[in-house]
A = this chain, B = another copy of it.
Amino acid sequence: MKARVTVMLKNGVLDPQGEAVRSALGNLGFAGVEGVRQGKLIELDLADGTSEADINDMCEKLLANTVIESYSVELA
């Protein structure tokens, strides 16, 4: 089975990487880019029968820093 974990910085947490992308897009001549947030996408290839609770556990323990990041899990 496959799972797709999305990790984004929480709202209100400064995202310097996104800010750099926004500024670079402006410098390349793209107008109208008002904001950019950059996060991580982690695709997991898991043994069948891995529970969603296990995946949440992986996120809490390793994949996301829950102090500043939020995550969501999508099973495929």
Which positions in A face B, CB cutoff 8 Å? 6, 8, 18, 21, 24-25, 28, 30-47, 49-50, 54, 57-58, 61-63
Q: Given the interface contacts A28-B62, A58-B30, A62-B21, does A45 sit within 8 Å of B36 by beta carbon?
A: yes
User: In the complex, what distance in Å separates the CA atom of A41 from the CA atom of B54?
Assistant: 23
Which B-chain residue is minimally distant from A37 (CB atoms)?
B43
Contact B21 A61 (CB under 8 A): no
Contact B32 A36 (CB under 8 A): no
Chain copies in the assembled complex: 2
Contact A28 B63 (CB under 8 A): no
For A37, the chain B residues whose CB sits under 8 A away are 42-43
Q: Given the interface contacts A24-B62, A25-B62, A28-B62, does A34 sit within 8 Å of B40 by beta carbon?
A: no
